[in-house]
Structure 1
């Protein structure tokens, strides 16, 4: 990636709340690119992440809605029991297709569709988790020319997902949570 990205996608599972609380709340309200987040949440419950992060973040935080444009200054969380996708025109789409890696929403679904839509103007971040969802999606981002960042497995609450992502994308930047936050700030200085 040589220019400022058009979007950032983040995937996390077990340990996600604690990891995201170290990355998202201190981003400035003027952060100019959209952040799309998939966290594995049980399908039989409402996604409480929006309320939690809306109270702690300077950015607008909302649940992604069908056919809305992905706008800067906003963090979009995938709704419970729906895959979050990005259309070619940069609008968001929701799907109730079959779970992927036993998850709906699935990280791979978001990352692969975002790579198709934004190509090299995309940064993908894999955080803590106990499975391998996101590894194939992060590879799709790399193959499209985008940037790949993985939480350092040594500091991740659950290292399985970061390890799978690094196995799939050995050239990904391996960063601690504080460094991921700094990386997100540096992205918009380009």
Structure 2
């Protein structure tokens, strides 16, 4: 079975966590990656620039109706929910979910609806429970779930919430998350 998308959610401490995960992926990583990192709604494109320094994959902030292409890492823009639709992304300004827009749950649930078992969901460090429901839905649809080992997270609230709600497939350190993503996406 081949995967169609990797979705990653993170909040507090996410920038340094993402740098490690993305920095350990090969330049020919075959599956598109979509990321929700909680950030202030006035936030600029600095996140894209900072992450681009860590990876050879191309990083872009999503624009509405962007096609989902492999070789890219997509970032939810500040103050917009990022949704997966068949073959492309959509942006929404619906109400915040778990006090967040973009919401990890919104990204994860839409990915699970569209690509069912062909989704890998990854929860990293964070200080709230956003992502827990979305990861549960990915698991329920037959997708693969990975959570950062809480002891290694800058804030363990989000990983612990995900682990308490979902029988996750792997609980790993950041560098092991990258190697597990590679194993899954190249063996499929």
TM-score w.r.t. length of structure 1: 0.95
User: Match for residue 35 of structure 1?
Assistant: 33
User: Match for residue 162 of structure 2?
Assistant: 165
User: Structure 1: which 5+ runs fail to align?
Assistant: none
Kept in 2: contact 1:41–1:47 (CA 8 A): no
Matched residues, number: 187
SS in structure 2 at match of 1:98: coil
**CA shift at 1:4, angstroms?**
2.5
Q: Following superposition, which runs of at least 4 residues in structure 1 exceed 3 angstroms of deviation?
A: none
Following the alignment from structure 1 to structure 2, what is the Cα–Cα distance between the partners of residues 39 and 171?
21
User: Match for residue 144 of structure 1?
Assistant: 141
SS in structure 2 at match of 1:17: helix
Alignment equivalent of 1:102, drawn from 99, 104, 123? 99
Following the alignment from structure 1 to structure 2, what is the Cα–Cα distance between the partners of residues 141 and 56?
27
User: Match for residue 189 of structure 1?
Assistant: 186
Alignment equivalent of 1:123, drawn from 117, 120, 135? 120
User: Match for residue 71 of structure 2?
Assistant: 73
User: Structure 2: which 5+ runs fail to align?
Assistant: none
**CA shift at 1:57, angstroms?**
1.0
Kept in 2: contact 1:26–1:58 (CA 8 A): no
Following the alignment from structure 2 to structure 1, what is the Cα–Cα distance between the partners of residues 162 and 112?
16
SS in structure 1 at match of 2:162: helix
Q: Deviations over 1:61-104 (max 9, x none)?
A: 000111111110000000000000011x2210000001111110
Following the alignment from structure 1 to structure 2, what is the Cα–Cα distance between the partners of residues 170 and 184?
18
Kept in 2: contact 1:166–1:172 (CA 8 A): no
Task: Name the structure where helix makes up a greater proportion of residues.
Answer: 2
TM-score w.r.t. length of structure 2: 0.96
